[in-house]
Amino acid sequence: MAYDKSIAAFDEAYKVIPGGVDSPVRAFSGVEGIPPFIERGEGAYLFDIDGNKYIDFVQSWGPLIFGHCDTDIENSVMEAVKKGLSFGAPTTVETALAEEIVSMFDSLDKVRFVSSGTEAVMSAIRLARGVTGRDNILKFTGCYHGHSDSLLVQAGSGLATFGTPSSPGVPADLTKHTLLATYNDMASVEKCFSDAKGDIACVIIEPIAGNMGLVPADEAFLEGLRALCDTHGTLLIFDEVMSGFRASLTGAQGISAVKPDMVTLGKVIGAGMPVGAFGASAEIMGHLSPEGPVYQAGTLSGNPVAMAAGLTSLKKLKSNPSVYVSMGNKAKRLTEGLKKAADAVNVPMVTDVRGSMFGFFFSDKLVKNFADAMENDQALFAKFHKGMLDRGIYLACSSFETGFISTAITDEMIDETIKAAYETLKEIKG
């Protein structure tokens, strides 16, 4: 495939945008080649400015569960646009979307809308601290919760530890309140609780991790977290920005029996528009300004155009939950096919599926946590990604991301993808 126009566009962008991109993962730093600049999407396909066509398994990193340019969502956006782009005042569509979300999740009485997943999590953490009067929080290595200061931490020495900043610009004074434990490892969580003498405001987890590849939490692990949080008066937050309306209609909460105290959402609830949300019981949410003292705000929060897109998307999903069965079947067809292709050329691969989310690692090790994920063959992934792109398959440009099936993807497209995977791996292995 030719990428001449994208190469020129990337050069041009580089002059005025750091790294040429507005979010680092888009820069293709971990894979071969440069990012195609996208001109438009249509159903399951992306088209770049060189005229190349790709089957899209990224879907704007998750939001586009109905694929590109869904007519119903587009129409609701057009109608909303005609009434005005933003008012900075209450609108009934915010209440309608909030009612829709609250009616689906047992764990939620109220939600507040923000403009991104990062904001949702940042606000949820502040609320958890405000409600409990505690500073410490606990997160898991490999779980990504956006780029707010408290959450940009890396492990120091030791199994369970207070975090150190993972980016310059984040004060160590802030991250010293973030404890890090190992995903799916209850002993590491117990050690954190013991080190902090139980003084922890919240445990935040992606119950289906999607930012270290796809790595679901074991049910027993979630049960253990629930019990420990209950013992210590710590709030359990499920970050379902990615898994919400993806793993099932109600995300991980539709699969696990464990119920969190607070939930963060994003991606699908905006259908491609910038929307995030956080929610909890009426009691917890009552601590939020103006009902309570915990401050949180946003000029574009609950933007009417974004709310209209999200409302249409969720109504469509709720009225036809069987789409999760068909997307899940397609995800299984894809991962089984990828595994067969890898087996045929003696490349180790492990795969997983949760609803419309799929993941694969070039590894022979079952991946339960970030250290396991790190053992995947990243050099092979870099070559594989390029080979797939050249064959018209658009995968996330990192081996630590999750793939997404949309309702627009057909079995024929899945089979085309498997064929491309086999050809690519065969070419790489010579």
The catalytic residues are 144, 239, 267
- Give the CB-nearest residue to ligand HOZ: 23
Residue 336 burial (10 A CB sphere; 0-12, 13-18, 19+):
middle
Restricted to residues 105-144, the positions that interact with ligand HOZ (CB under 6 A) are 144
Give the nearer residue to ligand HOZ in terms of CB position, either 261 or 401.
Answer: 401
Strands 178-181 and 137-140: parallel
What does the block give as tokens for 58? 């990224």
Contact track, ligand HOZ, 202-221, x by CB under 6 A: ---------x----------
Give the nearer residue to ligand HOZ in terms of CB position, either 241 or 409.
Answer: 241
At residue 365, the 3 state secondary structure works out as coil
Give the nearer residue to ligand HOZ in terms of CB position, either 182 or 211.
Answer: 211
How big is the site for ligand HOZ, counted in residues (CB under 6 A)? Answer: 6
Question: Maximum distance among all alpha carbons in the chain?
Answer: 65
- The Cβ of residue 193 has, within 10 Å, a number of other Cβ atoms equal to 22
At residue 294, the 3 state secondary structure works out as strand
What does the block give as tokens for 12? 């041009």
Restricted to residues 229-288, the positions that interact with ligand HOZ (CB under 6 A) are none
43, 47, 53, 57 alpha-carbon torsion, rounded to 10° = -50
Give the nearer residue to ligand HOZ in terms of CB position, either 76 or 376.
Answer: 376
Q: How far is the CB of 297 from ligand HOZ (least distance, A)?
A: 23
Q: How far is the CB of 147 from ligand HOZ (least distance, A)?
A: 8
Q: How far is the CB of 402 from ligand HOZ (least distance, A)?
A: 8
Give the closest residue to 216 by CA, choosing from 187, 262, 190, 251.
Answer: 251
- The CA-based angle 397-398-401, given to 5 degrees, is 105
349, 350, 354, 356 alpha-carbon torsion, rounded to 10° = 0
Give the nearer residue to ligand HOZ in terms of CB position, either 58 or 160.
Answer: 58
Restricted to residues 288-307, the positions that interact with ligand HOZ (CB under 6 A) are none
Q: How far is the CB of 233 from ligand HOZ (least distance, A)?
A: 30
Contact track, ligand HOZ, 156-195, x by CB under 6 A: ----------------------------------------
Q: How far is the CB of 210 from ligand HOZ (least distance, A)?
A: 7
Q: Tell me the C-alpha distance between 271 and 74, whole Å.
A: 10
For residue 425, how many C-alpha atoms fall within 13 Å in the half-sphere facing its CB? Answer: 21
Exactly one of 401, 405, 414, 420 binds ligand HOZ (CB under 6 A); that residue is 401
Q: How far is the CB of 164 from ligand HOZ (least distance, A)?
A: 21
Which secondary structure element, helix H or strand E, spans residue 204, and what is its range?
Answer: strand 202-205
Sign of CA dihedral 316, 317, 321, 325: positive
Categorise residue 108: left if φ over 0, alpha if ψ from -120 to 50, beta otherwise: beta
Restricted to residues 22-81, the positions that interact with ligand HOZ (CB under 6 A) are 23, 25, 61
Beta carbons within 8 Å of 113's beta carbon, 6+ residues apart:
94, 97, 98, 275, 276, 277, 301, 302, 307
Q: How far is the CB of 246 from ligand HOZ (least distance, A)?
A: 12
Give the nearer residue to ligand HOZ in terms of CB position, either 61 or 221.
Answer: 61
Give the nearer residue to ligand HOZ in terms of CB position, either 38 or 428.
Answer: 38
Contact track, ligand HOZ, 328-347, x by CB under 6 A: --------------------
Query: Which residue ranges make up the site for ligand HOZ (CB under 6 A)?
Result: 23, 25, 61, 144, 211, 401
